[in-house]
Amino acid sequence: MSKNSSTKEKVLGTNCFNCKYIANNNEPVLSQELNSDGGIDPKNAEAMDRAEKADLITLPGGSKADATSKRFCYNKKIEMYVTVRMCCGYWDNDGVKRPWKKQ
């Protein structure tokens, strides 16, 4: 499921596309699917509720041109398409260092 599970890569930022819950394959995204900053807004009340609980955001300062594809988020609490312009409170990566946790 995660592209990060078997390789150690340099991670810059915490966008959805470098999270361990994201699909490996890019899918085409249509301009009309995107909000003005390049994210995908939830399409129904159930998705909106999941997005609110996860604090699923579109990062500021972007544009539709920044999101040339979408990927599916497999986190059970999200389960929707996201773009590189998005992030949520469940973001994680296998390479994250947590000094308070023993390895």
Q: How far is CA 61 from CA 12, 27, 34, 35, 46, in A?
A: 17, 23, 14, 12, 27
Tens of pLDDT, residues 3-39: 544 556 788 889 999 999 999 999 999 999 999 999 9
Given a cut of 90, whether residue 1 has pLDDT beyond it is no
Q: What percent of the chain stands above pLDDT 90?
A: 82
pLDDT (0 to 100) of residue 69: 98
Given a cut of 90, whether residue 56 has pLDDT beyond it is yes
Distance CA 96, CA 20 (A): 10
The predicted model scores a pTM of 0.86
Residue 36: alpha-carbon gap to chain centroid:
17
pLDDT (0 to 100) of residue 54: 97
